[in-house]
Each structure stands twice: as C-alpha cells, then as structure tokens.
DNA sequence: AATTGTGAATTCCTTCACAGCC
DNA sequence: GGCTGTGAAGGAATTCACAATT
C-alpha cells in the first residue's frame, strides 16, 4: 500500500470529503486517548479504543485513514502523538475565542463550566439584552456588553464562535445579529429549530430533544 | 447534534427496524409542527416541512412511513394530528419522571430550564453528594436527597430517567448508582466518555465536543 | 504474533421518479 | 394539479477479511 499522499498529518484530507460522522467521532477519540495517556499507556490498538468507545475497531481505523497513517503494524497507535494530531485536525490546538449571547440561567451555568477552557475555548465576551446587566462583569470577570456592540467587540476581540443561550423568542434575532457580525460558527441552546445557510455552521443543542431520543426507546422497549 | 446513543439494532415498532437517524429527526418534526400550528396552518406538505428543517421532502416522507400513513395525497399532513402521533411514537405523550444527579452549576441551570416541563419531563427529585445540600430544596421546590437514597426514591417516585450533572470524576460512580437503582435511560452532561450496556440507554452531551464539531469546519473552511 | 491499512462485500440511508390518490 | 407513499436506484458508511508490516 504505497499510498503516502497524506503522509503529512496536517495536510488536508485531499480529494474526498470526510464523512460528517467521522468528524463527530474524532473528538471522542481524542477524549479517550487523554484518558489512556493518564493511565500511563503509550500505545493503543484500535481494538483497545473500541473497548472504550461505542465504536468498532474497523470503524476507528477507517476513520483515521481519512487523515493519514498514524499507526504501526503489530503495535498500535502512539497515544500522545495521535491525540496531538487529532487536536490539530479538529482545530483545537489553537485557542478559539467565543462570545456568549445571553447571560441568564443557562448562560451563567455555561460561564461556570470549566470544560471549555480545558479544551482551548475562551469565552471572552458576553452579551445581554437586559440594560441592568450591560456594563457589569460576570463572576468570572467577563464583561457584559449590549447586543448593539456585537460587531465592534467581535472584531476587536477576534471572536470566531458564538454560543446562543437566549430565550427561544429571541433566538432568531440573536442568530441574525451574530451572523451579521461576521461569526461563522454558532452553538445554539435555545429550543428553536434554527437554520443557517453555509458558510455559517450552526449546531443545535436542544436538551428536550436529547431526552426525547431516550424516551423513544423507553416507550418501545418491549419490542426489542 | 446530538451526540451519540449506544445504538440498539433490535428496537423496532411493527415489522422492520427503524433507523436511529429517523428517531433523531422525529423530535425535530414535532417541534416544527408546533411552530406551524401556532402559525394557524392546519396541513403541511413534506416540502413545506423540508423548508423549515435541514432535511429533504423525500427523507421526511420516508421517515414517516416507518410508522404508518399520515398524509392525504394532494393535500399534505394534518398538522395537529401528526404532531400528536409523533409525540406518542416518541413516548412523550405521557409525563416522564426524571431525577437530577448533581445540583451544582450546571444542575441548577437545568432545574431552571422550563423547556423540560413543556415537553412532559418532570424533574421530581435531585441528588447531591454534598451533605449541606441534602435535606434542603431547590429554588423550584424540588427535594435534594443523598445518593444513598437513590434506590428508594426512584422506586417511590417511579423515576425513569436520570440526568447526570456531576463533576467528571464522579460520573462513572453516579452512572453505576443510577443503573443499580433500576434506571434505564440516562442523559450524561459530565465530559467523560461514559458507556453503558443495553438495555440501558445512555446519551452523552459534552459541550466541548459540540464546539469541536464546529471548529473542525473553521479550521478546514478553505477546503469546502 | 500482533495489528494496521484497505480493497471488497455488505448493510444502511437517501434520493429519484412515478403510480396512485385526492 | 398537487402531493403522498414507495419500489428501485444510487450513494454513504460500516464491516469483513486479509495482505502487508513491524
């Protein structure tokens, strides 16, 4: 298999399109590798990774080949190195600046969530429609701006990502505003089925929908 | 999206196995139908639904046929009726009782999130390892129990679903405890790659992973 | 002996395209 | 005329299975 086109692991996945499902799994591989590294291992086979994830060994090997050849036959994958490469591929090796839109209940919880920082996401500005909050800072020391300052702050702070944590009725307007401000990546927590046209990437996290994905199987358990 | 369920290829309604991706989309259809209903419409064609979702008309029609024939040729689908039907299929026509494990930052935000109640999910009990919190109530009036009371309370209150909002280092033990208490459906917010064997259904929502699904495309924008 | 990387086979999902019905 | 429901076709993702490599 003299196929070394992708021997540079940071090279783009050339000719063919990487399946979306593969990208989804990459983060999970990175997480599992972190755990294995902490356990003191230095290589991991695809079958070990399969044990720690809901995926099969063949699937994992196939996923990785989209980006290059990272393993050694007979041995497995070098954990630290593969993790580093996956983080590069995911674009999380460099810090990403994030704006939080909406400093209510959920927004406050997200600000208190330390996991973002651990994965190189920095919430550098918050925005709220409530005049009383504007001009103050969050308990974490992040300044709260008015929505009309969005464009200015996004440009000045080089913000790339917005997290929407606004009430559902404000969600569409907030989305329009962040796109208008030049943001290309949006994570929406408002329980509204928002849509955005490329090149904007929008991801919806609807907590009720997550639960409904579970109740379906509760309701149909007897049939399995 | 949504992250990931340990897929059970044996769950099915009547004859054949319903694809997992179809179940994922059902909730979204239900949401869109609710919006259309509010707009005063009483029928919706598959192409109208396609306009309001990221899915195609053919895909929507195909998804629905897994569960029966709901439309009228030449006319479309009766909105209210289809929505009701979908909710039945999803098992959200009856209230589902939920336990919240972990009343920290994120847990408190989830308690304040009114979307659950709107979709027939009732958080009826909370649990925390912190002795100071045990015996008190949340601002919403939900009693906080010690973890050791899990089995008793789950049985007494007929709780079917657990939401894990505990620190990552406590996640596995919390998962073991809720499974031990007889719970079959778990939504995990701890940023740990947890696994559960069938018949337990586990869904992970890792906020950092959601963001990483976006950064991949930020990092590879030039290629698309 | 162990394990990757990958063609080939397979399974799963989506889209096409149109007959059937309103 | 408009739209559903669905066989058939097409495409995508997964799994098999094994030659290649350490």
What pLDDT score does B13 carry? 40
Nearest-neighbour CA in chain B from A35: distance (Å): 9
Residue B112: closest CA among chain A residues belongs to which residue? A105
Question: Residue A153 in contact with residue A125, Cβ under 8 Å?
Answer: yes
Residue A58, number of CB atoms within 10 A of its CB: 11
What pLDDT score does A115 carry? 81
Beta strands in chain B (DSSP E): 4-5, 43-44, 77-78, 96-101, 121-127, 144-145, 161-164, 185-188, 201-204
The domain made up of A3-89 is a member of CATH 2.60.260.20: no
C-alpha span between A215 and B12 (Å, rounded): 14
Q: Which of A30, A91, A213 sits opposite B219 (nearest CB)?
A: A91
Instruction: Tell whether A184 lies on the interface with B, counting CB pairs under 8 A.
Output: yes
Contacts of residue B121 in chain A, CB cutoff 8 Å? 208, 211
Torsion on CA atoms B95, A195, A18, B213, rounded to nearest 10: -60
The reply to whether residue A119 touches residue B211, judged by beta carbons under 8 angstroms, is yes
Q: Which CATH architecture has domain A96-210?
A: 3-Layer(aba) Sandwich (3.40)
Contacts of residue A217 in chain B, CB cutoff 8 Å? 8, 11, 185, 201
Nearest nt to the CA of A59 via C1' is D14
Nearest-neighbour CA in chain A from B48: distance (Å): 14
CA B59 – C1' D10 distance (Å)? 15
C-alpha span between A64 and A50 (Å, rounded): 13
* Whether the model pTM is above 0.75: yes
What pLDDT score does A11 carry? 37
Q: Which of A52, A205, A212 sits opposite B210 (nearest CB)?
A: A205
Instruction: Tell whether A36 lies on the interface with B, counting CB pairs under 8 A.
Output: no
Task: Name the residue closest to the C1' of C16 by its CA.
Answer: B58
What pLDDT digit, counting tens, does each position of B47-56 carry? 999 999 999 9
What pLDDT score does B221 carry? 75
C-alpha span between A93 and A96 (Å, rounded): 9
Chosen for mutation from B33, B110, B216 (greatest number of chain A CBs closer than 10 Å) is B216
C-alpha span between A38 and B88 (Å, rounded): 45
CA A22 – C1' C6 distance (Å)? 17
Which of the residues in chain B have pLDDT under 70?
Answer: 1-15, 222-224
What pLDDT score does A13 carry? 42
Concatenated DSSP letters of chain A: ----TT-STTS---SSPPPHHHHHHHHHHHHHHHHHHHTT--EE-HHHHHHTSSS-HHHHHHHHHTT----BTTTBEEHHHHHHHHHHHHT-SS-EEEEEE--SHHHHHHHH-THHHHTTEEEEEEE-S-TTTTT-B-TT--BEE-GGGHHHHHHHHT--EEEE-S-GGGHHHHHHHHHHTT--EEEE-SSS-----TTSEEEE--HHHHHHHHHHHHHTGGG-
Which of the residues in chain A have pLDDT under 70?
Answer: 1-15, 222-224
Q: Do domains B3-89 and B96-210 have the same CATH topology?
A: no
What pLDDT score does B4 carry? 37
Pairing of strands A77-78, A144-145: unpaired
Q: Where are the domains of chain B?
A: 3-89, 96-210
Candidates B214, B52, B60; CA nearest to A192 is B52
> Burial, B102: exposed, middle or buried (Cβ in 10 Å; 0-12, 13-18, 19+)?
buried
What pLDDT score does A222 carry? 65
Nearest-neighbour CA in chain A from B13: distance (Å): 7
């Amino acid at each position: 298999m003299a196929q070394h086109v992708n021997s540079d692991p940071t090279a783009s996945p050339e000719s063919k399109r990487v399946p979306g499902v593969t990208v989804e799994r990459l983060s999970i591989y990175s997480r599992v590798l972190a755990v294995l590294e902490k356990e003191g291992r230095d290589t991991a086979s695809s079958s070990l990774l399969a044990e720690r994830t809901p995926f099969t060994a063949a699937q994992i090997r196939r996923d990785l080949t989209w980006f290059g050849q990272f393993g050694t036959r007979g041995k497995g994958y070098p954990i630290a190195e593969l993790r580093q490469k996956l983080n590069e591929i995911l674009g999380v090796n460099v810090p990403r600046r994030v704006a939080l839109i909406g400093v209510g209940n959920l927004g406050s919880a997200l600000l208190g969530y330390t996991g973002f920082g651990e994965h190189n996401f920095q919430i550098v500005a918050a925005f709220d429609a409530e005049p009383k909050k504007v001009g103050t800072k969050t308990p974490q020391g992040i300044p709260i701006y008015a929505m009309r300052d969005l464009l200015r702050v996004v440009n000045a702070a080089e913000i790339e990502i917005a997290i929407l944590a606004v009430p559902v009725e404000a969600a569409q307007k907030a989305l329009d505003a962040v796109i208008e401000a030049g943001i290309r990546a949006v994570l929406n927590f408002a329980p509204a089925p928002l849509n955005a046209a490329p090149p904007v990437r929008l991801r919806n996290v609807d907590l009720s929908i997550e639960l409904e994905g579970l109740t379906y199987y509760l309701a149909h358990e007897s049939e399995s």
